[in-house]
Amino acid sequence: MKTKYIIFFVTLAAVVLLDQFLKAYIGGSMNLHESIPVIEGYFNITYVKNPGAAFGFLANSAPEFRSLFLISVTVIAIVLILYFISKSTEKEVFLTFSLSLILGGAVGNLIDRIRFGEVTDYLDFYISSYHWPAFNVADSAISLGALVLVVEIFRRRT
Protein backbone atom coordinates (compact mmCIF):
# COMPACT_ATOMS: atom_id res chain seq x y z
CA MET A 1 0.00 0.00 0.00
CA LYS A 2 1.28 3.48 -0.81
CA THR A 3 2.61 5.55 2.08
CA LYS A 4 0.19 8.40 1.40
CA TYR A 5 -2.78 6.09 1.82
CA ILE A 6 -1.41 4.71 5.08
CA ILE A 7 -0.98 8.29 6.36
CA PHE A 8 -4.47 9.10 5.10
CA PHE A 9 -6.27 6.13 6.67
CA VAL A 10 -4.40 6.16 9.99
CA THR A 11 -4.86 9.93 10.47
CA LEU A 12 -8.51 9.87 9.41
CA ALA A 13 -9.34 6.89 11.63
CA ALA A 14 -7.47 8.29 14.65
CA VAL A 15 -9.22 11.66 14.46
CA VAL A 16 -12.73 10.29 13.88
CA LEU A 17 -12.45 7.55 16.51
CA LEU A 18 -10.94 9.82 19.19
CA ASP A 19 -13.45 12.57 18.42
CA GLN A 20 -16.48 10.28 18.54
CA PHE A 21 -15.24 8.44 21.64
CA LEU A 22 -14.72 11.66 23.59
CA LYS A 23 -18.04 13.13 22.47
CA ALA A 24 -19.85 9.95 23.55
CA TYR A 25 -17.97 9.86 26.85
CA ILE A 26 -18.71 13.53 27.63
CA GLY A 27 -22.36 13.16 26.59
CA GLY A 28 -22.76 10.00 28.64
CA SER A 29 -20.99 11.13 31.79
CA MET A 30 -21.86 14.83 32.10
CA ASN A 31 -25.01 16.92 32.16
CA LEU A 32 -25.43 19.56 29.48
CA HIS A 33 -23.62 22.77 30.56
CA GLU A 34 -21.84 20.94 33.37
CA SER A 35 -18.24 22.05 33.77
CA ILE A 36 -15.23 20.30 35.30
CA PRO A 37 -12.21 22.49 36.09
CA VAL A 38 -8.96 21.05 34.73
CA ILE A 39 -6.64 24.05 35.13
CA GLU A 40 -8.36 26.50 37.45
CA GLY A 41 -8.78 29.89 35.78
CA TYR A 42 -7.76 28.65 32.29
CA PHE A 43 -9.31 25.37 31.16
CA ASN A 44 -12.48 23.37 31.86
CA ILE A 45 -14.18 20.40 30.30
CA THR A 46 -17.62 21.91 29.67
CA TYR A 47 -20.36 19.95 27.92
CA VAL A 48 -22.16 22.17 25.40
CA LYS A 49 -24.03 21.69 22.14
CA ASN A 50 -23.38 23.91 19.12
CA PRO A 51 -26.10 23.95 16.46
CA GLY A 52 -24.02 26.26 14.26
CA ALA A 53 -20.55 26.09 12.76
CA ALA A 54 -17.31 27.56 14.09
CA PHE A 55 -17.85 30.26 16.73
CA GLY A 56 -21.61 29.69 16.54
CA PHE A 57 -21.86 30.77 12.88
CA LEU A 58 -25.48 30.25 11.73
CA ALA A 59 -26.52 29.13 15.24
CA ASN A 60 -29.55 31.43 15.13
CA SER A 61 -30.67 30.60 11.59
CA ALA A 62 -33.61 28.32 10.79
CA PRO A 63 -32.68 24.74 11.76
CA GLU A 64 -33.68 23.28 8.38
CA PHE A 65 -31.57 25.80 6.44
CA ARG A 66 -28.64 25.50 8.85
CA SER A 67 -28.62 21.72 8.71
CA LEU A 68 -28.90 21.54 4.92
CA PHE A 69 -26.27 24.24 4.42
CA LEU A 70 -23.70 22.86 6.86
CA ILE A 71 -24.10 19.25 5.74
CA SER A 72 -23.87 20.29 2.07
CA VAL A 73 -20.75 22.41 2.60
CA THR A 74 -19.13 19.58 4.57
CA VAL A 75 -19.89 16.99 1.88
CA ILE A 76 -18.45 19.30 -0.80
CA ALA A 77 -15.32 19.81 1.34
CA ILE A 78 -14.97 16.04 1.82
CA VAL A 79 -15.21 15.41 -1.93
CA LEU A 80 -12.62 18.12 -2.66
CA ILE A 81 -10.22 16.81 0.00
CA LEU A 82 -10.52 13.25 -1.34
CA TYR A 83 -9.83 14.57 -4.84
CA PHE A 84 -6.70 16.46 -3.73
CA ILE A 85 -5.41 13.47 -1.77
CA SER A 86 -5.92 11.21 -4.77
CA LYS A 87 -3.95 13.66 -6.95
CA SER A 88 -1.12 14.13 -4.43
CA THR A 89 2.18 12.33 -4.92
CA GLU A 90 3.95 9.95 -2.56
CA LYS A 91 6.40 12.71 -1.67
CA GLU A 92 3.67 15.11 -0.52
CA VAL A 93 3.48 13.66 2.97
CA PHE A 94 2.63 16.93 4.75
CA LEU A 95 -0.08 17.73 2.21
CA THR A 96 -1.66 14.32 2.74
CA PHE A 97 -1.34 14.61 6.52
CA SER A 98 -2.86 18.10 6.65
CA LEU A 99 -5.77 17.19 4.38
CA SER A 100 -6.37 13.99 6.37
CA LEU A 101 -6.58 15.98 9.62
CA ILE A 102 -9.06 18.39 8.05
CA LEU A 103 -11.08 15.51 6.62
CA GLY A 104 -11.12 13.64 9.94
CA GLY A 105 -12.41 16.73 11.72
CA ALA A 106 -15.02 17.37 9.05
CA VAL A 107 -16.24 13.76 9.24
CA GLY A 108 -16.32 13.83 13.06
CA ASN A 109 -18.51 16.93 13.13
CA LEU A 110 -20.62 15.71 10.19
CA ILE A 111 -21.48 12.56 12.15
CA ASP A 112 -22.80 14.75 14.98
CA ARG A 113 -24.78 16.99 12.60
CA ILE A 114 -26.45 14.02 10.92
CA ARG A 115 -27.13 12.14 14.17
CA PHE A 116 -28.11 15.01 16.46
CA GLY A 117 -28.50 18.18 14.36
CA GLU A 118 -25.74 19.83 16.40
CA VAL A 119 -22.14 19.27 17.46
CA THR A 120 -20.89 18.36 20.93
CA ASP A 121 -18.17 20.70 22.21
CA TYR A 122 -16.32 20.39 25.50
CA LEU A 123 -12.86 22.01 25.43
CA ASP A 124 -13.34 25.34 27.22
CA PHE A 125 -10.31 27.65 27.43
CA TYR A 126 -10.60 30.99 29.18
CA ILE A 127 -8.89 33.69 31.21
CA SER A 128 -11.04 35.15 33.97
CA SER A 129 -14.45 35.77 32.35
CA TYR A 130 -13.09 35.83 28.77
CA HIS A 131 -13.90 32.48 27.14
CA TRP A 132 -12.75 31.17 23.78
CA PRO A 133 -15.76 29.41 22.20
CA ALA A 134 -15.83 25.76 23.30
CA PHE A 135 -14.57 23.28 20.72
CA ASN A 136 -13.74 19.58 20.32
CA VAL A 137 -11.14 17.18 18.87
CA ALA A 138 -12.64 17.47 15.38
CA ASP A 139 -12.31 21.27 15.48
CA SER A 140 -8.74 20.91 16.75
CA ALA A 141 -7.87 18.53 13.91
CA ILE A 142 -9.32 20.95 11.34
CA SER A 143 -7.33 23.84 12.82
CA LEU A 144 -4.10 21.86 13.05
CA GLY A 145 -4.60 20.53 9.52
CA ALA A 146 -5.16 24.05 8.20
CA LEU A 147 -2.00 25.26 9.97
CA VAL A 148 0.10 22.40 8.52
CA LEU A 149 -1.41 23.11 5.08
CA VAL A 150 -0.49 26.81 5.27
CA VAL A 151 3.07 25.94 6.36
CA GLU A 152 3.32 23.45 3.49
CA ILE A 153 2.09 26.04 0.95
CA PHE A 154 4.66 28.59 2.17
CA ARG A 155 7.40 25.96 2.25
CA ARG A 156 6.75 25.15 -1.41
CA ARG A 157 7.03 28.80 -2.41
CA THR A 158 10.61 29.07 -1.13
Q: Report the distance separating Cα 86 and Cα 34, nearest Å.
A: 42
pLDDT above 70 (res 54):
no
pTM as predicted: 0.90
Q: What is the mean pLDDT of residues 57-86?
A: 84
Helix, strand, coil content of the chain in percent (nearest 5): 65, 15, 20
Q: Which residue has the higher pLDDT, 80 or 128?
A: 80
pLDDT 10s digits, 84-119: 999 998 889 999 999 999 999 999 999 999 999 889
pLDDT 10s digits, 5-37: 999 999 999 999 999 999 999 999 999 999 999
pLDDT at residue 59, rounded to an integer: 64
List the chain domain ranges. Answer: 3-157
- DSSP letters, 61-113, are S-HHHHHHHHHHHHHHHHHHHHHHHHHS-TT-HHHHHHHHHHHHHHHHHHHHH
Q: What is the mean pLDDT of residues 50-69?
A: 72
Q: Please check whether residue 81 is in contact with residue 15, taking contact to mean a CB–CB distance below 8 angstroms.
A: no
Q: Please check whether residue 48 is in contact with residue 34, taking contact to mean a CB–CB distance below 8 angstroms.
A: no
Q: Cite the active site residues.
A: 121, 139
Q: Please check whether residue 7 is in contact with residue 96, taking contact to mean a CB–CB distance below 8 angstroms.
A: yes
